[in-house]
């Protein structure tokens, strides 16, 4: 085993399988930025704020967009404010990220990055990091406003627990430490915006989609991307085995979404079924039995004589 591999083994990377030698370092949980009493959230909690968007209705989305428009209008005449609008997407393992940086009385600054074999989360954090780096170097800036459609990614910056994006958060944390120490009134705000529904974010998104660059050089993997790749391969292998061995019996029910497309197996957010079934344990159990055509007494059968037509609603909610 090489010295490089030994160092990887001693780090926080686990279950890397045969990709171990191709993974970049992602963890650094012992870094001073994560020490209690020195973390951003411990020292400068009043300087950092997060503002989520209400997606419950079109009315609430419109109200939130009005707030964002007001922020842009006020900041355009304030020389102490900088606005950063970011977005990221992935296609064929090529991740694109973009940031528009609005300075007072200055031309719009744009940053676009393309890289292979990383997740959109990593790309979004990197874009936020680059935008903040540009903002803190601007003289007399006291308020940084980051607008993104993935505010949960921004919260990784103050996440004290171990996660595979620590290298990015450490860099951002150091920038913000220096920024907040420069003046006690310096602040940073993170605002969420509805995807493609706020005009300035739609501009950023469309501009990113214009570019279709495919890097041809080899790239080392990040831990998060490697984990995703391994999980995707496991799902593909399971699906192939499931179909080839005919384990689904003869009456297996394929679930369809609202667009009448088959719901594919997934490991994210608890899987695809709960979203369509709900959170009732009884209903989930019934649906599983009906979908797989399997109950403790073998095949699922409805013996209710009062219901000649066995509807989905009857089977899932009424059948005894």
Residue range 202-230, pLDDT digits in tens: 888 888 777 665 554 545 556 666 677 77
Q: Taking 50 as the threshold, does the pLDDT of residue 273 lie above it?
A: yes
**Residue 13: predicted pLDDT:** 43
> CA–CA separation, 253 vs 271, rounded Å?
17
Residue range 123-132, pLDDT digits in tens: 888 899 999 9
User: Do 61 and 132 have their domain in common?
Assistant: yes
> CA–CA separation, 142 vs 136, rounded Å?
9
Of 203, 219, 235, the residue that ends a domain is 219
Q: Taking 60 as the threshold, does the pLDDT of residue 8 lie above it?
A: no
Q: Is 264 inside a domain boundary?
A: yes
**Does the predicted TM-score (pTM) go above 0.85?**
no
Q: Give the CA dihedral 304, 306, 311, 313, nearest 10 degrees.
A: -80
Q: Edge-to-edge strand order for the sheet containing 187-192?
A: 48-51, 187-192, 143-148, 81-91, 94-102, 109-116
Which residues span the domain enclosing 285? Answer: 250-318
Paired tokens of 84: 């950063």
How many CA atoms, within 13 angstroms, populate the side-chain half-sphere of residue 300?
Answer: 21
Residue range 159-171, pLDDT digits in tens: 878 777 788 888 8
> CA–CA separation, 139 vs 303, rounded Å?
77
**Range picked from 61-75, 162-176, 254-268 for highest mean pLDDT:** 61-75
User: Do 80 and 170 have their domain in common?
Assistant: yes
User: Do 295 and 197 have their domain in common?
Assistant: no
**Residue 313: predicted pLDDT:** 67
**Number of domains into which the chain is organized:** 2
């Amino acid at each position: 085993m090489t010295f490089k591999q030994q160092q990887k083994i001693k780090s926080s990377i686990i279950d890397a399988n045969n990709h171990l030698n191709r993974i970049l370092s992602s963890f650094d949980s012992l870094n001073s930025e994560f020490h209690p009493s020195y973390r951003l959230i411990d020292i400068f909690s009043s300087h950092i704020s997060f503002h989520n968007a209400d997606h419950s209705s079109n009315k609430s989305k419109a109200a939130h967009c009005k707030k964002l428009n007001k922020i842009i209008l006020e900041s355009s005449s304030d020389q102490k404010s900088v606005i950063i609008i970011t977005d990221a997407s992935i296609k064929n393992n090529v991740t694109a990220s973009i940031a528009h940086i609005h300075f007072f009385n200055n031309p719009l600054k744009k940053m676009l990055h393309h890289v292979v074999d990383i997740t959109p989360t990593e790309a979004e954090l990197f874009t936020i990091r680059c935008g903040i780096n540009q903002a803190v170097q601007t003289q007399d800036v006291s308020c940084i406003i980051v607008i993104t459609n993935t505010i949960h990614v921004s919260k990784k910056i103050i996440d004290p627990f171990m996660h595979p994006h620590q290298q990015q958060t450490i860099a951002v944390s150091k920038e913000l430490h220096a920024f907040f120490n420069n003046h006690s009134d310096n602040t940073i705000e993170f605002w969420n915006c509805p995807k493609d529904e706020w005009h300035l974010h739609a501009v950023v998104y469309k501009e990113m989609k214009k570019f279709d660059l495919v890097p041809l050089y080899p790239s080392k993997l990040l831990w998060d991307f490697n984990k995703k790749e391994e999980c995707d391969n496991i799902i593909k292998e399971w699906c192939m085995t499931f179909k080839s061995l005919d384990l689904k019996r003869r009456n297996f029910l394929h679930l369809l979404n609202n667009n009448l497309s088959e719901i594919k197996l997934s490991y994210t957010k608890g899987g695809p079924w709960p979203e369509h079934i709900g959170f009732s344990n009884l209903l989930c159990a019934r649906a599983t039995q009906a979908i797989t055509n399997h109950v403790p007494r073998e095949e699922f059968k409805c013996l209710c004589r009062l219901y000649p037509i066995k509807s989905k609603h009857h089977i899932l909610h009424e059948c005894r």
